[in-house]
Amino acid sequence: METQKKLRETATLPHALESFQDIVTDIGGKRPVLFFDYDGTLTPIVEDPDAAELTATSKKVIQQLSDQFTLAIISGRGLADLKSKVGLQGLIYAGSHGFEISGPNGLEMQFEPGKKILPILDEVESKLKKRIETIDGCEVERKKYAIAVHYRRVKADQVVDVENAVEEVLVGEQRLKIGKGKKILELKPDLDWHKGHALNWLLDELDLAAAQNHPIFIGDDITDEDALEALSGTGILVGSHGQKTYADYRLKDTGEVYRFLEELGNWDKGNP
């Protein structure tokens, strides 16, 4: 019987690098299956989302890992944007929090109920852009299945204006909901589908049975908690998002993420 996960304070989590042998023990004789968020996990958070690029060294690490393990990136970014940013073959890409998925060997999925919401997102996007025109530093980014409102560059006393604008354009619209992240608000379909569902869908679709495989998810933001809660494996939180977490371990930043990944890759090479 599966034990219900509990929320914990980030500061109380064991450090994933210091506890690497414990993680290896948890993996046992199974094959790791790796899942990552993108922004704040594989790349540092930056003011301009378009500037969140992988370094050549980062790409090399990810590409090498994808040769060893099944590897998926599950991001709030739209699928096309995510694939363009990463630019590597042989990976599974899940964009828009898992509403659209693409991978090797013809793997393709669009969450069907989400398609009905696209015209609504178009209408709300137009209203929102007009509504936030006067708020300096606020940016509206349209993804296929979501609208991101970035306020990292908005003055602190105007953040409430951003929040009010988002709430106002959704008055009477019950098919969308507001999601919160690090200096971002997202308007997305109010449907029972998120990163956790996408993760488990991939495990089922690729026949990665729990008896032979051990999922590892690494993420940094509030939206990653859906995956951390749904995960039957090892969850790692990068940094802190200011709330309690379902993660099992923590890492300080993206630099430590790559140190952990290199250790995992080296461990696997030594355990054929």
User: How much is the average pLDDT of 21-43?
Assistant: 96
Give the whole-number percent of the chain exceeding pLDDT 90: 88
User: Residue 1: what pLDDT?
Assistant: 39
Task: Specify the pLDDT at position 244.
Answer: 97
Confidence of residue 231 (pLDDT cuts 50, 70, 90): very high
Our separate counts of H helices and E strands in the chain read 9, 12
pLDDT in tens, 137-196: 999 999 899 999 999 999 999 999 999 999 999 998 989 999 888 899 999 999 999 999
235 and 228 Cβ atoms separated by less than 8 Å: yes
Pairing of strands 92-95, 100-103: antiparallel
CB atoms within 10 A of CB 69: 18
pLDDT at 198 over 90: yes
- Is residue 124 pLDDT above 50, yes or no? yes
Q: How confident is the model at residue 265 (pLDDT cuts 50, 70, 90)?
A: very high
What are the residue numbers of the active site? 37
**Structural domains of the chain in order of their starting residue, each with its CATH number:** 31-111+193-269 (3.40.50.1000), 114-189 (3.30.70.1020)
Q: Which helix (H) or strand (E) holds 31?
A: strand 31-36
E-strand stretches of 121-233: 139-143, 146-150, 176-181, 184-189, 213-219
- Reported confidence tier of residue 3, pLDDT bands at 50, 70, 90: low
What amino acid occupies position 135?
A: I
pTM: 0.90
pLDDT for res 5: 85
CB 237 within 8 A of CB 90: no
pLDDT tens sequence across 214-225: 999 999 999 999
The per-residue pLDDT for 127 is: 94
Q: According to the model, what pLDDT value does residue 85 have?
A: 95
pLDDT > 70 in the chain, percent: 99
Strand order in the sheet with 176-181: 139-143, 146-150, 184-189, 176-181
What whole-number distance in Å separates Cα of residue 146 and Cα of residue 162? Answer: 17
Integer CA distances (angstroms), 265 to 31, 68, 238, in order: 12, 8, 19
User: Which range (47-51, 164-168, 173-177, 256-260) has the least confidence?
Assistant: 47-51
